[in-house]
């Protein structure tokens, strides 16, 4: 860094690639000092003057304002207020053609000057080193200072960097032809600018301050040298005259050999750059408390009788400036007014467009000076554009890709690094408006990206919605599944009690049957009834704690079974009547069967009750086996009964039914249940038939 400043001091600069030397034509306007102009009849102060956001208008129609009074206000850090350039009355907040190539109407405050020029109360900060930096920055912001060299970036943001600053570069290069506003300002207000530099230096604390001025402005260089000679840290550097040496990136490269990284800021390489006009405005704001309400504008061109630099109030319509400088439209074949310089300025569509904070020049060239648009010819691939490009692009390739709308390729060839200086189009022998192609393509790419962004968002929204729907569906399914499970679970736990109920019902039915049998049967019958009675009590006991709603079907089945059994029993009882021997048999025969059943079931459970409670875990196969066994037994019992020719099967049957019911408990055995039920019913019927036959026989 020391070596850099040494080189700058010795004038051994780095330079930048490309560049052009258009005729400067600065002597048209730089011969006389900056003039004060009479105010126009109306001022149109654009609410949005620069990069960033517009503030909120805080005055209303008919309100009288004082000179320097803030007209807008905003809490946004990227907004700086605009002020009344003079005292007067607000005629309204209107839409007025904007100082933009499109000339689209934008919000502007129309002010009718009252001619008094009465200042609002000003609050200067002469002792700026004594106050907090934040207060100083606030003052600069409140004065509406924005970069006066080019894009109008709010100065207070550039004056409060986040990084360490090695070089504060003060840009007095003014490389564009015709423009002499900064030249005159430096010549006439060098000390004022120096004071502004002091303030910025205080805020930024750079190691060195370099004031760069093109060597075609010797008077300005001399003036700045005189103004800055007492500070060792300040270096005034004369740089070679070459367009676009005053571009921020080019000036940094020329002075330091450093390059601002792509998508980076100068502060990334320890540099901050301010224009001399900005320094003047900062000094005005801090030492005089005056907001930025006027600026130096070069009004020049050969169709003016008195081209000169003027102090133009912000909001002055261009027509006023032109008429004050003796505009002679006869010298132009068609009205042609350019705001800015001939390289980067834009043609005005309307001469009522007002001066804004970044307006440095109004150019009214004669027809000979800037002839009508030349006819575009075929590109001969001469490469003069590439030789002129200060950022080492390949303008020719960019032109082909722009023309072909090949955005991807244009991007690949770094279209967005183009600074639109116009050097390529200036040198093009085929008069191809290269920059225009680039601007169009850039706009198209931006539009496409915006569209893509929106489409992406829409897609994301759509996908998110789809996901949400699927998720919801899953959740619903899961809920249903859980509910179903829970139902199943409860059904199973309920199932036990349901079966209990069934058993209880059966028991009750049996008890009834037994009772009726007892009625008709002898003493011996008491022996028979004893075990079922026991059974029933235990079963009833097991029902009582949980007596929930059992499955209807099962209940019905059970009821049907119960009915069938009841009928059968009734028949049996009727059949029993004749012989008490049968009662003996009855009592004797069921026992082994029951024991059998118990032993069969013992594989699974030793007892019906226990079987009921554990049936969920019991093995299907075993149950089936058990069922088969039960059926086999039933058959055998049938045969026995047939042999016995007696109703002794009743008890056994009841036992079997009970066993069948045990199977019913199985969660998977609904079908089997039904089959069993059907079998039971069939058996019951058969038995009833047999009994009937027996009865008839007997």
Site for other proteins in 411-470 (CB under 8 A): 412-414, 417, 420, 422-423, 425-431, 433, 435-436, 439
- Residue 35 beta carbon to other proteins: minimum distance, rounded to whole angstroms: 25
Stretch that binds other proteins, among 30-38, 65-73, 308-316, 342-350 (CB under 8 A): 342-350
397 binds other proteins (CB under 8 A): yes
Helix/strand/coil (H, E, C) string of 393-433? CCHHHHHHHHHCCCHHHHHHCCHHHCCCCCHHHHHCCCCCC
Query: Which residues in the 12-31 window bind other proteins by CB under 8 A?
Result: 16-17, 20, 22-23
340 binds other proteins (CB under 8 A): yes
- With CA atoms as reference, report the closest residue to 172 among 206, 215, 131, 129: 215
Tokens matching residue 454: 């929106």
Tokens matching residue 521: 């049967």
Query: Which residues in the 96-135 window bind other proteins by CB under 8 A?
Result: 101
- Residue 309 beta carbon to other proteins: minimum distance, rounded to whole angstroms: 20
Which residue, 247 or 495, is less far from other proteins as judged by CB? 247
Query: Which residues in the 477-516 window bind other proteins by CB under 8 A?
Result: none
Stretch that binds other proteins, among 214-222, 339-347, 460-468, 639-647 (CB under 8 A): 339-347
Q: Scan for tokens 């070069």, then name that residue.
A: 298
What does the per-residue mask of binding to other proteins show for 62-101, with x meaning CB under 8 A? ---------------------------------------x
Q: Return the residue of 392, 473, 490, 520 that touches other proteins, per CB under 8 A.
A: 392
How far is residue 221's CA from residue 234's CA, in Å, rounded to a whole number?
Answer: 13
**Please, what's the largest Cα pairwise distance for the chain?**
152
Q: How many residues of this chain bind other proteins (CB under 8 A)?
A: 73
Which residue, 196 or 345, is less far from other proteins as judged by CB? 345
259 binds other proteins (CB under 8 A): yes
Q: Return the residue of 149, 277, 345, 532 that touches other proteins, per CB under 8 A.
A: 345
Strand partners, 209: 168, 234
Q: Return the residue of 338, 358, 597, 687 that touches other proteins, per CB under 8 A.
A: 338
Strand 35-36's sheet: what is its strand order?
Answer: 35-36, 308-313, 294-300, 361-363, 338-339, 346-347
Which residue, 78 or 346, is less far from other proteins as judged by CB? 346
Q: Return the residue of 182, 351, 648, 666 that touches other proteins, per CB under 8 A.
A: 351
261 binds other proteins (CB under 8 A): yes
- With CA atoms as reference, report the closest residue to 283 among 195, 202, 200, 153: 195
208 binds other proteins (CB under 8 A): no
335 binds other proteins (CB under 8 A): yes
74 vs 120, 554, 583, CA distance in Å?
20, 79, 110
Residue 479 neighbours by CB under 8 Å, 6+ apart:
none
Q: Return the residue of 78, 311, 346, 407 that touches other proteins, per CB under 8 A.
A: 346
Which residue, 25 or 308, is less far from other proteins as judged by CB? 25
Helix (H), strand (E) counts: the chain: 22, 16
CA dihedral sign of residues 159, 164, 168, 171: negative
Which residue, 17 or 92, is less far from other proteins as judged by CB? 17
Which residue, 271 or 558, is less far from other proteins as judged by CB? 271
Pairing of strands 56-57, 35-36: unpaired
Which residue, 403 or 577, is less far from other proteins as judged by CB? 403
- The DSSP result for 311-346, as a single string, is EEETT-BHHHHHHHTTB-GGGSSS---EES-TTT-E
Distance between first and last Cα of the chain: 133
Query: Which residues in the 637-696 window bind other proteins by CB under 8 A?
Result: none
How far is residue 177's CA from residue 446's CA, in Å, rounded to a whole number?
Answer: 31
Stretch that binds other proteins, among 270-278, 379-387, 478-486, 565-573 (CB under 8 A): 379-387
What does the per-residue mask of binding to other proteins show for 546-575, with x meaning CB under 8 A? ------------------------------
Stretch that binds other proteins, among 144-152, 335-343, 538-546, 549-557 (CB under 8 A): 335-343
**Residue 579, H or E segment:** none
- b/e 244-271 (16+ beta carbons within 10 angstroms → b): bbbbbbbbbbbbbebebeeeeebbebbb
Q: Return the residue of 217, 249, 554, 568 that touches other proteins, per CB under 8 A.
A: 249
How far is residue 385's CA from residue 164's CA, in Å, rounded to a whole number?
Answer: 37
CA dihedral sign of residues 574, 580, 585, 586: positive
Q: Return the residue of 138, 188, 328, 387 that touches other proteins, per CB under 8 A.
A: 387
- Residue 438 beta carbon to other proteins: minimum distance, rounded to whole angstroms: 10
379 binds other proteins (CB under 8 A): yes
365 binds other proteins (CB under 8 A): yes
Stretch that binds other proteins, among 284-292, 363-371, 455-463, 669-677 (CB under 8 A): 363-371
150 vs 146, 175, 284, 296, 645, CA distance in Å?
10, 12, 20, 14, 122
Q: Return the residue of 342, 496, 532, 590 that touches other proteins, per CB under 8 A.
A: 342
DSSP 20: B
Q: 27 by DSSP, 3-state: which?
A: coil
- Residue 413 beta carbon to other proteins: minimum distance, rounded to whole angstroms: 8
- Residue 173 beta carbon to other proteins: minimum distance, rounded to whole angstroms: 17
264 binds other proteins (CB under 8 A): yes
Stretch that binds other proteins, among 214-222, 410-418, 633-641, 665-673 (CB under 8 A): 410-418
- With CA atoms as reference, report the closest residue to 86 among 312, 263, 338: 312
- With CA atoms as reference, report the closest residue to 149 among 183, 178, 172, 177: 172
Q: Return the residue of 9, 56, 163, 381 that touches other proteins, per CB under 8 A.
A: 381
How far is residue 265's CA from residue 249's CA, in Å, rounded to a whole number?
Answer: 9
How far is residue 214's CA from residue 43's CA, in Å, rounded to a whole number?
Answer: 34
Which residue, 113 or 177, is less far from other proteins as judged by CB? 177
Which residue, 365 or 495, is less far from other proteins as judged by CB? 365
Q: At what angle do helices 670-697 and 649-664 cross, to 10 degrees?
A: 170
Q: Return the residue of 98, 237, 253, 618 that touches other proteins, per CB under 8 A.
A: 253
- The DSSP result for 286-298, as a single string, is III---S-EEEEE
Q: Return the residue of 11, 115, 218, 374 that touches other proteins, per CB under 8 A.
A: 374
Q: Return the residue of 91, 93, 120, 344 that touches other proteins, per CB under 8 A.
A: 344
Nearest 10 degrees: Cα torsion 110, 114, 116, 120: -40
Query: Which residues in the 167-196 window bind other proteins by CB under 8 A?
Result: 177
349 binds other proteins (CB under 8 A): yes
Stretch that binds other proteins, among 65-73, 200-208, 385-393, 516-524 (CB under 8 A): 385-393
Which residue, 263 or 523, is less far from other proteins as judged by CB? 263
How far is residue 176's CA from residue 173's CA, in Å, rounded to a whole number?
Answer: 9
Stretch that binds other proteins, among 140-148, 331-339, 592-600, 635-643 (CB under 8 A): 331-339
Q: At what angle do helices 590-602 and 580-588 cross, to 10 degrees?
A: 20
């Amino acid at each position: 860094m020391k070596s850099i400043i040494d080189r700058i001091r010795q004038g051994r600069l780095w330079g930048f690639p490309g560049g052009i030397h258009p005729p400067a034509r600065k002597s048209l306007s730089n011969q006389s000092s900056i003039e004060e102009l009479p105010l126009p009849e109306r001022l149109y102060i654009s609410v949005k003057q620069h990069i960033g956001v517009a503030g909120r208008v805080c005055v209303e129609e008919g309100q009288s304002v004082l000179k320097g009074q803030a007209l807008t206000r905003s809490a946004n850090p990227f907004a700086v207020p605009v002020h009344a350039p003079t005292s007067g009355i607000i005629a309204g907040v209107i839409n007025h053609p904007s100082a933009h190539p499109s000339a689209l109407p934008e919000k502007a405050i129309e002010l009718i000057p009252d001619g008094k020029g009465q200042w609002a109360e000003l609050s200067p900060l002469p002792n700026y080193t004594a106050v907090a930096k934040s207060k100083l920055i606030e003052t600069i912001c409140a004065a509406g200072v924005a970069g006066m060299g080019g894009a109008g970036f709010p100065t207070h943001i550039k004056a409060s960097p986040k990084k360490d600053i090695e070089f504060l570069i003060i840009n007095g290069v003014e490389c564009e032809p015709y423009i002499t506003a900064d030249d005159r300002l430096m010549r006439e207000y060098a000390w004022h600018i120096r004071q502004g530099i002091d303030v910025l230096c205080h805020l930024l604390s750079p190691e060195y301050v370099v004031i760069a001025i093109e060597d075609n402005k010797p008077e300005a260089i001399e003036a700045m040298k005189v103004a800055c000679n007492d500070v060792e840290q300040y270096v005034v550097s004369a740089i070679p005259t070459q367009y676009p040496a005053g571009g921020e990136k080019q000036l940094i490269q020329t002075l330091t050999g450093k390059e601002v990284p792509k998508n980076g800021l100068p502060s990334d390489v320890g540099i901050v750059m301010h224009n001399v006009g900005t320094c003047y405005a900062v000094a005005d704001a801090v030492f005089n408390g005056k907001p930025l309400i006027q600026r130096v504008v070069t009004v020049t061109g050969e169709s003016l009788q008195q081209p000169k630099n003027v102090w133009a109030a912000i909001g002055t319509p261009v027509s006023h400036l032109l008429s004050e400088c003796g505009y002679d439209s006869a010298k132009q074949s068609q009205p042609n007014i350019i705001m800015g310089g001939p390289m980067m300025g834009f043609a005005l569509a309307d001469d009522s467009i007002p001066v804004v904070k970044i307006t440095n020049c109004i150019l009214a060239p004669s027809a000979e000076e800037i002839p009508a648009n030349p006819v575009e010819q075929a590109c001969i691939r001469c490469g003069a554009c590439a030789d002129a490009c200060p950022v080492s692009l390949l303008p020719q390739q960019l032109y082909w890709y722009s023309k072909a709308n090949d955005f991807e390729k244009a991007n690949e060839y770094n279209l967005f690094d183009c600074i639109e200086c116009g050097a390529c189009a200036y040198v093009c022998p085929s008069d191809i408006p290269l920059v225009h192609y680039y601007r169009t393509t850039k706009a198209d790419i931006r539009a496409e990206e915006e569209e893509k962004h929106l489409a992406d968002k829409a897609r994301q929204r759509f996908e998110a919605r789809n996901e949400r729907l699927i998720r919801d569906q899953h959740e619903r399914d899961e809920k249903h599944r859980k509910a179903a499970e829970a139902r199943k679970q409860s059904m199973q736990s309920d199932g036990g009690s349901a079966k209990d109920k069934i058993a209880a019902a059966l028991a009750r039915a049996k008890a009834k049957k037994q009772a009726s049998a007892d009625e008709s049967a002898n003493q011996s019958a008491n022996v028979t009834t004893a075990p079922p009675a026991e059974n029933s009590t235990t079963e009833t006991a097991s029902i009582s704690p949980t007596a929930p709603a059992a499955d209807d079907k099962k209940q019905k089945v059970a009821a049907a079974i119960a009915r069938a059994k009841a009928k059968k029993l009734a028949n049996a009882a009727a059949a029993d009547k004749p012989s008490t021997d049968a009662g003996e048999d009855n009592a004797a025969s069921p026992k082994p069967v029951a024991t059998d059943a118990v032993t069969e079931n013992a594989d699974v459970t030793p007892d019906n009750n226990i079987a009921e409670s554990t049936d969920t875990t019991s093995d299907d196969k075993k149950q089936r086996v058990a069922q088969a066994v039960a059926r086999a037994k039933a058959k055998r019992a049938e045969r026995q009964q047939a042999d016995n020719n007696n109703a002794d099967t009743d008890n056994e049957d009841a036992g079997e039914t009970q066993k069948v019911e045990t199977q019913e408990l199985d969660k998977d055995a609904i079908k089997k249940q039904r089959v069993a039920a059907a079998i039971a019913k069939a058996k019951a019927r058969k038995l009833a038939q047999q009994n009937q036959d027996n009865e008839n026989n007997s």
